[in-house]
Amino acid sequence: MGAPEVPSTLRSWMSVVGEIARAVNAAEPLDGVLTRVAEQACALIGFEYCAVMLAEPDQEHLRVAGSSGLSRDYVALVSDTGSLLIHPAGPNLDSPAAEAYRVGHTVAVSDVGSAVRYGRLRYLAPKQGYQALIAAPLHAPDSGLLGVIVAYSVAAREFGAAEVELIELLADQAALACETARLRSDQQNVITELSRTNDELQRSRAVMEWAERQHRRLMRLVLDEVGLAGLVTALAETLGASVTVEDRHGRVLARAPESGYHPPPDGAARRRRPVRAALDTLARQNEVVEVPAGRPGRPGASAVGHPVAATRGVWVAPVVVGGELAARLWVTNPRAAPAPVERRVIERFALVVALEVLKQQYLVDVEERLSGDLIGDLLHPGGPLHPQGVLDRAAALGHDLSRPHVVAVLTLDPPGPAPRLAEVVHAAARRTVPPLVGPHEDVQVLLLPDVPGLDDVLRGILTQVEHALPERTATMAVGPVADGPTDHEAAYRVARGAVRLRRAVRPGGLVDVRDLGLAAFLLEEGTPGALRRFARNLLRPVVAHDARRGGDLLPTLRVWLAAGCSTSATARTLVVHPNTVGYRLASIEKLTGRSLRRSDTRLDLQLALTVRDIVRVEDR
């Protein structure tokens, strides 16, 4: 049975977070807060039952601390000391909740009947009447694993990525509630022990109130949907620091403040051992890490051109989406080193930034899918079946295909999928001409408006792809300009033929075949091997002659064809006597056995030179 649709909008999720946060801030009993978490798991994700279980101090058993939908008899049954053993003697006494706690990862059981490794589960499930469950551990930054949250489904079901993401986020909220309860308990102990130190108590209370104000402010920002820019600006104001969010490729997504901004360490600094070691820890722990400062008093410039002075410190927090590092949140040059409570605020901001990044990734995925479908229809053999429909769909994505567009083809070697390739292309061209990008057949197709400066944009795109995928070789061919939707398919075939020809000899680089004329048809229809043999056989005697005698026959032929077969114009371009040009042309005729007076000979030579230019290798 498939999983039901999950209502995973940011607003509905943050409404749940706000309710739990209010309960925590109101100092409700921990069991009551955890019961709220269990109820929200059922309401938000669509489960019938849910329980939050905490580990006993002896680390031998789990106990139900809050639940929703479970019968009293079932809660009493699992509270039996033999039911939820954390370290059972064998699989007959094991349960998914205990395993999730032991390994620290989410455990899902789609069908209890087939879960042979959990003997205790086969005994417990019929008592409550569920067929599937998912258990996520409660991770606390300071206390480690606290327990698990377990959601139950009456019907067997597969758990999708969205359900796993939400149950893990709810587990984080339950852990936060436990951690806050522990902090409140610790605070009470401090009050008892330091009752005579009123000033210290007042400072402690001020810190807690400050943290709660920041938490409420964060909730308001999320509910107001201010986006990454608003979140980063708010955190920068809160800490009196510069804040930067960059994706896993190092591209800046948002930064603040505008005035007095201090960027994070540049590429050279990150390659130094202490900084590299600090960044490596982000993959192993979900907390703020202090990055060793560079040599003080050495002003310089950052990788993005901002002036850099000696800073008062650098901290970085991981932004994790789906268990993987998706971005980094940098805090540089704060007015003071972040205290523990301020680090906790940074971590909470990183959690919300993760939700924003997840939302942006979803939008990017949707746009890539729509762009791929559009390009497939546009490049249908013979042209699009419904040209106006293609124009309307392109306009909805922000592209006016009624204007002239250049068709480019991009390939990677070795072949294979390249996640986020379209994202890299968009990032490289976003400030100039936004391209329409999508896969077609076995290549990536780029459609860009034919505007001045396009050559620099194309070279910039190729450079960024090579930087983002250093283990792959990128080859780009730029085809003819398509004046309308019916012209794109033919232009694509020319560009694809050029890139196939280049890859067959030496992959990599940029090939421009926008102005081939009649040769474009031959490039479109011919196979790479046949075209290379044709060019090699026709030009071999001329190339060999130039190699032996240091002659200029091949350059002279190229200029003569480009000059419209005018001897005088060729002589002026080469700064030689017209008789010299005539002598060289006669030598070419003798070497090839072909008359340059014949139009078919000139066409053959032009195509051979074009193929030679594309493959960029010397004939042997």
Q: Per-domain residue ranges for the chain?
A: 10-189, 201-291+312-361, 379-525, 529-615
Listed in sequence order, the residues at least 6 apart from 535 whose beta carbon sits closer than 8 Å to its beta carbon are: 607, 608, 609, 611, 612, 619
Q: Which among 5, 37, 81 has a CA at the least distance from the CA of 176?
A: 37
Band the pLDDT of 172: cuts 50, 70, 90. confident
The mean pLDDT of 530-538, rounded to a whole number, is 68
pLDDT digits (tens, 9 = 90+) for 106-130: 999 999 988 888 888 888 899 999 9
- Tell me which of 420 and 446 has the higher pLDDT: 446
What six digits make up the tokens of 66? 């809050």
Would you state the pLDDT for residue 501?
Answer: 75
What six digits make up the tokens of 191? 């009050």
Does the pLDDT value for residue 369 go beyond 90?
Answer: no
What phi-psi label fits residue 69: left (phi over 0), alpha (psi between -120 and 50 degrees) or beta? left
Pairing of strands 314-321, 436-440: unpaired
Mean pLDDT is lowest, of 8-17, 212-221, 422-431, 573-582, for 8-17
Band the pLDDT of 202: cuts 50, 70, 90. low
Identify the CATH number of the domain defined by range 10-189. 3.30.450.40
Does the pLDDT value for residue 10 go beyond 60?
Answer: no
pLDDT digits (tens, 9 = 90+) for 263-309: 888 878 888 887 877 777 776 677 888 888 654 334 333 433 444 44
- Tell me which of 28 and 525 has the higher pLDDT: 28
Would you state the pLDDT for residue 23?
Answer: 65
Average pLDDT, the chain: 78
Reduce the secondary structure of 130-167 to three states and give it as a string. CCEEEEEEEEECCCEEEEEEEEEECCCCCCCHHHHHHH
Does the pLDDT value for residue 195 go beyond 80?
Answer: no
Query: Where does residue 442 rank: exposed (0-12), middle (13-18), buried (19+ CB within 10 A)?
Result: exposed
Dihedral through CA 248, CA 249, CA 254, CA 258, nearest 10?
130
Does the pLDDT value for residue 63 go beyond 50?
Answer: yes
Q: How far apart are the first and last CA of the chain?
A: 64
Q: Say what percent of the chain tops pLDDT 90.
A: 9
Band the pLDDT of 131: cuts 50, 70, 90. very high
Would you state the pLDDT for residue 448?
Answer: 87
What secondary structure letter does DSSP report for 450?
-
pLDDT digits (tens, 9 = 90+) for 311-336: 578 888 887 777 777 788 888 888 88
Would you state the pLDDT for residue 49?
Answer: 94
Would you state the pLDDT for residue 109?
Answer: 93
Would you state the pLDDT for residue 533?
Answer: 65
User: What is the pTM (predicted TM-score) of this model?
Assistant: 0.41
Would you state the pLDDT for residue 591?
Answer: 84
pLDDT digits (tens, 9 = 90+) for 133-162: 999 999 887 778 999 999 999 999 998 888
Identify the CATH number of the domain defined by range 379-525. 3.30.70.270
For 232-249, give one letter per residue: b (16+ CB within 10 A) or e.
bbbbbebbebbbbbbbee
- Side-chain-side CA neighbours of 454 within 13 Å: the count stands at 20
Q: Which among 267, 292, 293, 295 has a CA at the least distance from the CA of 277?
A: 292
- Tell me which of 453 and 286 has the higher pLDDT: 453
Dihedral through CA 50, CA 52, CA 58, CA 61, nearest 10?
0
Is the CATH number 3.40.30.10 carried by domain 201-291+312-361? Answer: no
Fold equal for 201-291+312-361 and 379-525:
no
AA identity, residue 258: E
Alpha helices in 473-577 (DSSP H): 488-505, 519-525, 528-549, 553-562, 567-574
What secondary structure letter does DSSP report for 608?
H
What six digits make up the tokens of 208? 């807690």
AA identity, residue 313: G
Tell me, which fold does domain 529-615 have in CATH? Arc Repressor Mutant, subunit A (1.10.10)
Does the pLDDT value for residue 201 go beyond 60?
Answer: no
Residue 334 CA to residue 120 CA, distance in Å, equals: 53
Does the pLDDT value for residue 200 go beyond 60?
Answer: no
Residue 356 CA to residue 369 CA, distance in Å, equals: 20
